[in-house]
Structure 1
């Protein structure tokens, strides 16, 4: 630890020689209008940037001769040689309309700026302009991308999944903001609605399809979503935005946001953002099934569970977010960036055992970043706090237990209703540090770094195996990575990357990646092999839910027959992928990939393993709170089996003109497993079938959009079709009737109760339309409108969540210099 911290400070103190030359300019169209978001890329140095709102750009370059390529969707690529001398060099570029779809500049694929066609990963990117022009939640723009399963679990909780194995508690997709992990500490879930970043401060969203663990570590397993915020020196000014809307139930949606950014001098710049959003969720109350008993302990009507609405359901949604950043440049080419962020959120969140009432969940972070041409280092501290969040399902059941025992409503609805473990308290912290070096040595590009993390989880004994506010579960891990690409000439480039991670519970893992890319005149082919790991979360390892009925599996269990349940380890995926990105013609651009994944040692959902005598070396009577009731009966998480997944994603974009374009995407997904391998029999029913793996993904889906972007008016219409599919996640079930099959010991029957939940039938099976349009009234004011599910199509996208109805919002944006 001491060595690592010392090394980081040495990194921070090592300042390379400042750049004494740089290139600036402005990119415009042939009518003189600024092109915001145009890509300015140096082919020789493989570095680049994008233009700001006024079309301006700046690149720090050493003196010498370069080939500069400037591109923008719908315009010809402008390529020319430039010679950089000492000091400022100015090059203004005019682009002519009509033939090329241009290039997008990304950083997620290799942790350095590169054209999207040159990336060894499958990446989709959403630009600042797309986000600015969209009047709704920018997460909706993710639904328009290929290869992504997108879900609206209500107004507040959009979510996504990539390449299968979705659940109501999915930690297999990593979320990152400005190189900072944006995941909850104890559960590993993406922060999603809890994030502190507002849409007006978002420069680009990049989504990686498939594993990218060599650079980002555990849980960049199925995919990664990377949000990049705006630099105040590039995006100056004050932005004021306000939304008003209504959903199909007539419930309101209101949001106000503010961004201020100012370059104070050549060395200093600052920015501040804030948001307050208030809404009312769709009208929906989930069913809670309870085996009622009378005061004498006798079962209710025929001993059958009865359905009750969620107790004291609160449909209010509230978000408060703020971020503050200071940028200091002691010399050209060197930045020190300090950022603080905070959010306070209240909303309804679906889980695999009903919904959680998220109440005043506070996220805070402090981040310090250091950047030079060849070095990057950072340290950041994240906290997660809530005092009153609770599981609605369990609180509802406990309330009626009290009523059945003769308590009054006042007595049963107070502290008693939380007595069985419904309340979740969180007071967790995380420390992270990273140091990275990147450089080019002739034809070799190198990115190498080290990352360290210390999790300090605390639930005050409410859902983890800790005891009180002073008892933290401490887990540390460290990882190192190297990512090398070599230019073989003739358009060929090879990739070799590797990562070594060490975690104090599940040990050391080696994660390799290899690839070869071939550039052609209008695009590039790629063939890659990569490995990823999905790591057990602190909840998987140290969970303690419902008085110890569900326990984490960090140490394994000994059952009454003497057999062992092994401690949980990482799940591994080996991924093979081939793809092409580029122009098929002057107006037609495509991105196609096909993949084959081998998933081993699958991380199971919670499952009953039997009656245990010990957890590790500790007797169950000492670890299980409700031992007097359960007598060692335990549910936990295990590793099992092997399943193969495969599929393809493709997208086409056709430019009718610089102002009008059409895009189409399609994704196919399927899986296979060995029915004769008894290790695949997760539910121990003597038969290996689809109910052991719970892949939970549609086989086919597509999207089709038409876009217009004129000088003043802009808009798009997008249609999305998702094939019907069956879905299972712990207590949650959404399936057609399957004669002869059972789930959790009960027959699978559509539109009928199923254990502790109701089976409304399969998810998907819908075609919806979204619409957005707007008008730039002036350089200062823009008015826009967005409709999600325009025709209010009846559909269900997720379990433990309301059917997704229409949501209609208007937005006014004021941009001041």
Structure 2
């Protein structure tokens, strides 16, 4: 793998050196950018159109840079919150004196995600949501990532404080593989779990330039797994964002909770960013952030019982049981016998008895930028990140990933070529809570001995179950026992609960925009990508222990997009198509077509036909994981159970039948979606913006897991497998959003999201829809209430919905109740470049969950101090 990446990076370096350019007489561009009051504006970007050359204004609003472009040419002057201007430069001695008008409407926003080329957000051919620098500064949430929950059409489902899943248009939950999350063009998924893991290895608020989310199918441009949507996070370029930024945050959470020992637990974070333009050619950027906190806890002790559909239904009682199968207690799942006519479950371990909930997150990166020519920029980044939390999957896991990322990129005004390598390994102490609980129990007493002690005590104490349980639990090991350290560090084959993920993703991607070759009459964009995944788990996730070797696969793909305008630019037609081929599956073509009709620039109607697909992820292809050791194994379905060379499981098919007869399991295939969307986006008045859309989605070969369809082997072990749902089914949804700008800087916004199943899924098939039908967000604020003071308020509500998922070998069904949260923040400008922000998320501390078995989220209260060297 390293040889492959070295060859790729070598090709890129060779590309840099082969770029030839003449030495033109340089032109110096300088001037001042002011607001309408004549005050100099800091941080305004001035860029030569069609190049990467430019500079940002300093504290006095002044700028200067040199370019090899000979006059006449145009420069673009832009800044978040101000109208963009295009200025003509006619000679090399021209001094520019520019006045920008403040503009807080969305009409001036430019997006890239929808078409992979720049376009007005009003004329985007599909739904698109954007968060810019001002939105990030003004969000009342603790950080920009939590603020995503206020976007229309977007679901944010937290497993805890650090591990969160973004999703759109249904089939949500705390383990999400159908939504692609990208950071500066890199797909931020774990190599083997195939999930975007929140923002653990992502980007801190102080380095975010923008966040764009396209809900819905996006495979036509982004390839496999951009099934429910794609999110692009873009960082700040030091050529335009120079200086030192330091942010310190202190807060507390876990108020009025009985799950942790303290009444309230502290939360602290420090972040630093330094960007420096060393010359017109070189720039450097360094980021570091460190967070410590007490995680949100999962402590749902409601009992589970089998219903008529053979699902484990959640009881309505919130009382902590002394005997039974509770959601967030592990090791108590099955009855081990009867005493006094009662089914007896062994005493399990609450989640808080298996993990300490202390979390931390470290992120550090350094990037070097070099402008080869006025139109070509090269960069190299190295990044390290680690963090921890409790992850919801087939079980609940104490998850401690570490990442090292290397990225090399060549970027021009009309192309990019990037290669990156993401290496991941588990930090010390990643383990399965269910397996750890069972191991603790077995090392205390085996089930037979425990039940004998229980029965003896029950009979000798007049049939008292409480005294019987206390007697049987004597000698019970706990998290503080020496044995626990061994259990969480040993793999299941050695009697422990640890799991290992040594994985890497190598990705090469390029794109070229040929529009200029067609004299801007028609837009033509072409791109291609190659990815290779490789994972070693030492038998803890896949059957790859010893000389069986790592499991791996690759996929390749390419796309073309054509854009053409008609009727004096009033009608824009966009058509694109992509071909993808994964190593073990047939190639797929995913087309997309859209129309945007703009009778005026302020009113835009759109219609689109989109397709998407998701290849079976690593686990759905090749997993071999004992969900319940010795009883239930989850096996991949890439080539069924017959082709050991492709499954990676290396076992004999004849063991799957008590009579010795082979059993055929269907090969799992890629799932596909076809989506239609209609929408309007525009300004009904100069102060009122409206965005409305409707979508309908039809799914084929949807991949899921039905634990009731396992195969019973002769050794008594049940093997469950991933499979495709027969036939098709549909979902539909709609969104409505509006922003209104009052006088004196006051703004209000509201959005509504409706998402629902048209056809019901078979009982027991998971993952299910797991999405609220109705969601509402409201906000009101003024970022400049006075010269020093700003505020923002946000309210969020969602309706009750059914939730279905697999946990500890059980398919669990229950309801997620309706809830609402209220967030608020107040920002005070202490002086130029130094601000204080005090606020809270869910300030009324109404604990809620968005997934069964996941953490309950309460109030988070914080104060943040931010210093920016250039006063932005």
Give TM class, smaller chain: 0.7 to 0.9
SS of the residue corresponding to residue 132 of structure 1 reads helix
Matched, 1:104 2:145: no
- Asked whether the equivalents of residues 770 and 790 of structure 1 are also in contact (C-alpha less than 8 Å), the reply is yes
SS of the residue corresponding to residue 677 of structure 2 reads strand
Matched, 1:638 2:638: no
- Select which of 775, 799, 806 maps to 1:730: 806
Residues 419-478 of structure 1 deviation map (CA, whole Å, 9 limit, x = unaligned) = 366311111111111122113223111221111111111111111121149822121111
Corresponding residue of 2:571: 492
Seen in structure 2, the aligned counterparts of structure 1 residues 100 and 471 have a Cα distance that, compared at 3 Å, is closer
Matched, 1:201 2:207: yes
Superposed, 1:200-279 pairs within 5 Å as 200-249=206-255, 250-279=264-293
- Asked whether the equivalents of residues 168 and 228 of structure 2 are also in contact (C-alpha less than 8 Å), the reply is yes
SS of the residue corresponding to residue 637 of structure 1 reads strand
Superposed, 1:666-815 pairs within 5 Å as 666-673=752-759, 681=762, 683=764, 694-710=768-784, 711-731=787-807, 762-815=815-868
- Select which of 549, 556, 562 maps to 2:640: 556
Corresponding residue of 1:532: 612
Seen in structure 2, the aligned counterparts of structure 1 residues 260 and 189 have a Cα distance that, compared at 3 Å, is same
Seen in structure 2, the aligned counterparts of structure 1 residues 7 and 532 have a Cα distance that, compared at 3 Å, is farther
Give 1 or 2: higher strand fraction. Answer: 1
Deviates more, 1:54-63 or 1:720-729: 54-63
Seen in structure 2, the aligned counterparts of structure 1 residues 71 and 430 have a Cα distance that, compared at 3 Å, is closer
Structure 2 gaps of 5+ residues are 256-263, 301-327, 450-474, 643-655
SS of the residue corresponding to residue 781 of structure 2 reads strand
Tell me how far 1:564 sits from its aligned partner. Answer: 2.8
Residues 561-587 of structure 1 deviation map (CA, whole Å, 9 limit, x = unaligned) = 766322211111111111122211010
Seen in structure 2, the aligned counterparts of structure 1 residues 502 and 815 have a Cα distance that, compared at 3 Å, is same
- Asked whether the equivalents of residues 175 and 191 of structure 1 are also in contact (C-alpha less than 8 Å), the reply is no
| CA RMSD, Structure 1 to Structure 2 (Å) | 3.4
Seen in structure 2, the aligned counterparts of structure 1 residues 216 and 90 have a Cα distance that, compared at 3 Å, is farther
Seen in structure 2, the aligned counterparts of structure 1 residues 697 and 308 have a Cα distance that, compared at 3 Å, is same
Tell me how far 1:712 sits from its aligned partner. Answer: 1.9
Residues 117-174 of structure 1 deviation map (CA, whole Å, 9 limit, x = unaligned) = 1222211111122223447221122111111122343322333220001133211110
Matched, 1:433 2:491: no
Cα distance in 1 between the residues matched to 2:797 and 2:54: 35
Superposed, 1:148-159 pairs within 5 Å as 148-159=154-165
SS of the residue corresponding to residue 579 of structure 1 reads strand
Matched, 1:374 2:445: no
Seen in structure 2, the aligned counterparts of structure 1 residues 210 and 408 have a Cα distance that, compared at 3 Å, is closer
Cα distance in 2 between the residues matched to 1:221 and 1:651: 23
Seen in structure 2, the aligned counterparts of structure 1 residues 199 and 130 have a Cα distance that, compared at 3 Å, is same
Cα distance in 2 between the residues matched to 1:323 and 1:46: 26
Seen in structure 2, the aligned counterparts of structure 1 residues 314 and 53 have a Cα distance that, compared at 3 Å, is farther
- Asked whether the equivalents of residues 126 and 677 of structure 2 are also in contact (C-alpha less than 8 Å), the reply is no
- Asked whether the equivalents of residues 734 and 753 of structure 2 are also in contact (C-alpha less than 8 Å), the reply is yes
Corresponding residue of 1:395: 436
Equivalences, count: 759
Corresponding residue of 1:339: 381
Corresponding residue of 2:464: none
- Select which of 125, 132, 136 maps to 2:130: 125
Cα distance in 2 between the residues matched to 1:580 and 1:462: 50
Corresponding residue of 1:620: none
Residues 191-213 of structure 1 deviation map (CA, whole Å, 9 limit, x = unaligned) = 31321422211111111111111
Matched, 1:584 2:684: yes
Superposed, 1:124-203 pairs within 5 Å as 124-134=129-139, 136-203=142-209
SS of the residue corresponding to residue 395 of structure 1 reads helix
Seen in structure 2, the aligned counterparts of structure 1 residues 765 and 697 have a Cα distance that, compared at 3 Å, is same
SS of the residue corresponding to residue 584 of structure 1 reads strand
Tell me how far 1:394 sits from its aligned partner. Answer: 2.3
- Asked whether the equivalents of residues 566 and 638 of structure 1 are also in contact (C-alpha less than 8 Å), the reply is yes
- Asked whether the equivalents of residues 289 and 305 of structure 1 are also in contact (C-alpha less than 8 Å), the reply is no
Cα distance in 1 between the residues matched to 2:425 and 2:201: 13
Tell me how far 1:692 sits from its aligned partner. Answer: 6.9
Cα distance in 2 between the residues matched to 1:575 and 1:35: 44
Cα distance in 1 between the residues matched to 2:835 and 2:32: 23
Matched, 1:458 2:464: no
Seen in structure 2, the aligned counterparts of structure 1 residues 207 and 764 have a Cα distance that, compared at 3 Å, is farther
- Select which of 113, 123, 133 maps to 2:118: 113
SS of the residue corresponding to residue 394 of structure 1 reads helix
- Asked whether the equivalents of residues 168 and 352 of structure 1 are also in contact (C-alpha less than 8 Å), the reply is no
Cα distance in 1 between the residues matched to 2:176 and 2:527: 28
- Asked whether the equivalents of residues 291 and 300 of structure 1 are also in contact (C-alpha less than 8 Å), the reply is no
Seen in structure 2, the aligned counterparts of structure 1 residues 808 and 5 have a Cα distance that, compared at 3 Å, is closer
Cα distance in 2 between the residues matched to 1:767 and 1:557: 46
- Asked whether the equivalents of residues 292 and 401 of structure 1 are also in contact (C-alpha less than 8 Å), the reply is no
Cα distance in 2 between the residues matched to 1:507 and 1:9: 34
SS of the residue corresponding to residue 686 of structure 2 reads coil
Seen in structure 2, the aligned counterparts of structure 1 residues 5 and 584 have a Cα distance that, compared at 3 Å, is same
Tell me how far 1:305 sits from its aligned partner. Answer: 3.2
Seen in structure 2, the aligned counterparts of structure 1 residues 703 and 222 have a Cα distance that, compared at 3 Å, is same
- Asked whether the equivalents of residues 174 and 854 of structure 2 are also in contact (C-alpha less than 8 Å), the reply is no
Tell me how far 1:553 sits from its aligned partner. Answer: 1.2
Tell me how far 1:100 sits from its aligned partner. Answer: 5.2
- Asked whether the equivalents of residues 47 and 113 of structure 1 are also in contact (C-alpha less than 8 Å), the reply is no
Corresponding residue of 1:305: 345
- Select which of 3, 15, 19 maps to 1:15: 19
Corresponding residue of 1:619: none
